[in-house]
Structure 1
Amino acid sequence: MKKYLYNITINISWADHEQWLIWMREAYLPFLNSTNLIAKHLLLRLKDIDETDGPTYALQIFVETEVLYSKFASEHLSEINQLQKARWGNNMLSFATLMEVVH
């Protein structure tokens, strides 16, 4: 059975970093868990990169099947993206990648 990893790489300004991290821990990550569609998630901080504009994180969301990912994407991603944009605006840059676990 194929498994999937949805990775979101996020750069957050130094001015908003602490509040963003609290929001991630208290709101965003619990919301992910409440969907009952993901197997697990990891929030990682990238190291050995230029942090002039702020730290960079990778949020890795593991999903057991493509069907579950499609349901997660159709029901929740738009809402999550709108909430982030409204809360952090141009002080946060992100991009996402869907990957298939092959080993």
Structure 2
Amino acid sequence: MYIYNVTINIDDSVHDEWLVWIKDHIQDVLGTGRFVSAKLTQVLVEEEMGGVTYSVQYTAKTREDLDEYYRVDAPKLRSDGMRRFADKMVAFRTELKVVNEFYPTSVSN
């Protein structure tokens, strides 16, 4: 599994509008069929630049799915947000490869 993480700092002046937009945008990204799930989280640190910071984590089953997203879907999907919020947001992207997942084990008495 691969996690495509997008961290975004959004200016307070457009925060509410952006929050509505990002929820629709996440559905558009999932609609490409390249990801099996997505998670929207708020980053709980105060940035010197102000605004509110979020992380969107998209989970892909394969590297090929992620590469196809970059090649086919990302240019169009990214441009909409940049057009609407260009001077009011800063975003950076990272990729993570899941090595192991751990879950609590049952403790029997």
In structure 1, the gaps of 5 or more residues are none
The equivalent position to 1:75 in structure 2, one of 72, 76, 81, is 72
Stretches (4+) displaced over 6 A:
none
Aligned partner of residue 47 in structure 1, secondary structure = coil
| Aligned counterparts of 2:99 and 2:46: Cα–Cα separation in 1 | 27
Identical amino acids, percent of aligned pairs: 25
More displaced stretch, 15-24 vs 44-53: 44-53
* Higher RCO (CA 8 Å, separation ≥ 6 residues): 1
| Aligned counterparts of 1:51 and 1:20: Cα–Cα separation in 2 | 20
Aligned partner of residue 26 in structure 2, secondary structure = helix
- Deviation string, structure 1 residues 33-89 (Cα, Å, up to 9, x no partner): 211110100000001333752100000010000011111111111112211110101
- Whose radius of gyration is greater, 1 or 2? 2
| Aligned counterparts of 1:76 and 1:4: Cα–Cα separation in 2 | 17
TM-score, structure 1 length as denominator? 0.90
1:3-18 maps to which residues of 2 (within 5 A)? 3-18=1-16
Supply the RMSD in Å over aligned alpha carbons.
1.3
TM-score, structure 2 length as denominator? 0.86
> AA paired with 1:56?
T
